[in-house]
């Protein structure tokens, strides 16, 4: 072999080594992403407050829709930032309607809102819903007992359930 061929072989070996190293790094990054994304695939709604969520849906559907949107998009500390104007655009409703729906969620301590200029940071009550592992729930920024809504319709359900289960 001549020196030109040896140089080409060395160059190809360098490229192969670089590609293998990069591939290993990419595989590691992919594995890390997959582990992280598994936590973001689920939101846990706690049974204790299912009745509250049903009552919210019955009383104000937009509040319920906004809550589900926040839960879908919140980070591992149950926070999500967005303007009310953007929420209005997303759901094709007026800003006033969004504001009233958010006020209902706040008044029942389902969410908490922190302002930063025109952007709001919405924090979902971790007693109602949690995203991520339960071990990290202690890092929650908002964990209080919500104020329950009363559903007259559901008062008879327990009697029906008891009779049906027997």
The Cα-based distances of 57 to 33, 39, 151 in angstroms read 34, 26, 11
pLDDT tens digit string along 74-117?
888 899 999 999 999 999 999 999 999 999 999 999 999 998 88
CB atoms within 10 A of CB 120: 19
Burial 60-89 (b: 16+ CB within 10 A, else e): bebbbbbbebbbeebebbbbbebebeebbe
Picking from 156, 157, 152, the residue whose alpha carbon sits closest to that of residue 55 is 152
Beta-bridged to residue 28, according to DSSP, are none
pLDDT tens digit string along 28-62?
766 666 555 555 677 888 888 888 888 899 889 99
Q: Which two tokens stand for residue 84?
A: 């009310």
CB atoms within 10 A of CB 110: 28
pLDDT tens digit string along 135-162?
777 778 888 888 876 655 555 555 555 5
CB atoms within 10 A of CB 131: 24
The Cα-based distances of 100 to 82, 93, 97, 105, 138 in angstroms read 16, 12, 5, 9, 30
pTM score of the predicted model = 0.68
């Amino acid at each position: 072999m001549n020196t030109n061929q040896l140089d080409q072989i060395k160059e190809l070996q360098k490229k192969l080594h670089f590609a293998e190293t990069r591939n290993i790094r990419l595989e590691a990054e992919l594995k890390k992403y997959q582990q992280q994304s598994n936590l973001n695939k689920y939101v846990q709604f706690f049974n204790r407050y299912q009745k509250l969520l049903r009552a919210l849906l019955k009383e104000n559907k937009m509040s319920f829709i906004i809550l589900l949107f926040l839960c879908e998009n919140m980070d591992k500390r149950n926070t999500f930032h967005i303007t009310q104007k953007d929420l209005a655009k997303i759901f094709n409703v007026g800003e006033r309607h969004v504001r009233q729906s958010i006020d209902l969620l706040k008044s029942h301590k389902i969410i908490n809102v922190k302002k930063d200029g025109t952007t709001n940071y919405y924090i979902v009550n971790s007693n109602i819903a949690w995203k991520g592992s339960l071990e990290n729930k202690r890092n929650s920024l908002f964990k209080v007992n919500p104020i329950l809504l009363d559903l007259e319709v559901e008062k008879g359900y327990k009697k029906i359930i008891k009779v049906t289960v027997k």
